[in-house]
Amino acid sequence: MPVTNNWAYFDHSAVAPLSQPAAETLRQFTDMASTSGDVHWLEWSAKVETLRGLTAELVQCDKDEVALVPNTTAGINIVANGYPWQNGDNVVLPEGEFPSNRFPWLNLADRGVEVKTIARRDGRVEVDDLIAAIDDNTKMIAVSWVGYASGFRIDLDALVTEAHARGVLVFLDAIQGMGIYPLDLSTCDVDFLSADGHKWMLGPEGAGVAVIRRRHLETLRCENVGWASVRNAHLFSGATFDLRDDAGRFETGSANMSGLMAFASSLELFVEVGRIHGPAAIGDRVLERAARLRQLITEKGAKPLFQNDPPEIHGSGIVTFEVPGESPADFRTRAIENGVVVSCRGGGVRASVHVYNDDVDLKRLADLISS
């Protein structure tokens, strides 16, 4: 991580620094594109396609269920706009969701779809509360895997089991958890998910993935179509409107080649660690780092704002806290002046700790509290 040469970086929940493989891929693309135009296009396209397989391996789905999208929001809109809603249907979601997982559902009001917003409990999203909100008209629960401000990680296994038992689908905004915590879609049968690569997966902005389970492929209408949505997409002069039989039908046109290639290069790191050390290795390390930071800042007098216990189920790399006598904005400014990067979220300072943050990084942040 080249960022470590200059910063103690704790803002992965916002925009992460690029991993070295991602940065190198972008540099190589720029060199080739500027000196050779599209001569290497087939090479680029093949690299982009590896992202589909890497995603499938990461979350244990079929690669034909993976769509390459510009961002998390685009994946959410594929589902929100494509589902065959009926007047009177409703969607259940927790309060305090990031706007990307609120606005697409609220935008369905003119189709007669109600959004039922369920209160959190001190930042916690309780599965029982979401399930209790289900009625005969509930078609879907839409939820973030990890809360962007609280850092609370929902019990996905319990949510999916209980929702499916009642005939309700589950959409997962996975951007704050994907790549870090294990997700096996062969056993935790989430119906749809979407995530961008520019946070915990250390890729560039504007490159993401969505998963549409095969059983739902024909359920969703393609609201936007283009040359890339059909079979034999490159036979331009003889193209017929015959949608692809995989999730690629939701990819409408020219892709963000450089971004998706760089995302693939970064994701290779995560998949390789999973192959060698097991799918929980990165998440376990992140939880240990976050627990250590929580200990250090508490010793310095800071007050963590959310207790996401037990951490092995509900914890994450997000630690949000108050600094006595200092506003979150002022602390963030002072932190940057001292080479430490944090955010202001959830009424406090948000530090999002990654696997590579060492004890020196953690101490640099903690020491600012008593400065």
2-55 confidence digits (pLDDT tens): 999 999 999 999 999 999 999 999 999 999 999 999 999 999 999 999 999 999
Using 50, 70 and 90 to split pLDDT, how confident is the model at 57? very high
Q: What is the mean pLDDT of the chain?
A: 96
Query: With 90 as the cut, is the pLDDT of residue 167 above it?
Result: yes
**72, 175 contact by CB (below 8 A):** yes
* Ranges of H-type helices in the chain: 20-36, 41-59, 72-82, 103-106, 127-132, 156-165, 257-277, 281-299, 311-314, 328-337, 359-369
313-325 confidence digits (pLDDT tens): 999 999 999 999 9
81-115 confidence digits (pLDDT tens): 999 999 999 999 999 999 999 999 999 999 999 99
Rounded to an integer, the average pLDDT of 365-370 is: 94
333-359 confidence digits (pLDDT tens): 999 999 999 999 999 999 999 999 999
User: What confidence score (pLDDT) does residue 242 get?
Assistant: 87
User: What confidence score (pLDDT) does residue 239 get?
Assistant: 80
217-266 confidence digits (pLDDT tens): 999 999 999 988 998 877 888 788 989 999 999 999 999 999 999 999 99
The answer, yes or no, to whether the previous bond of 94 is cis (omega within 30 of 0) is: no
CA distance 100 to 107: 11
**pLDDT above 90 coverage of the chain, percent:** 94
Query: With 70 as the cut, is the pLDDT of residue 371 above it?
Result: no
CA distance 148 to 176: 7
Burial class (CB in 10 A: 0-12, 13-18, 19+), 66: buried
Q: What values do phi and psi take at 178, rounded to 5?
A: -65, 135
Query: With 80 as the cut, is the pLDDT of residue 307 above it?
Result: yes
Using 50, 70 and 90 to split pLDDT, how confident is the model at 285? very high
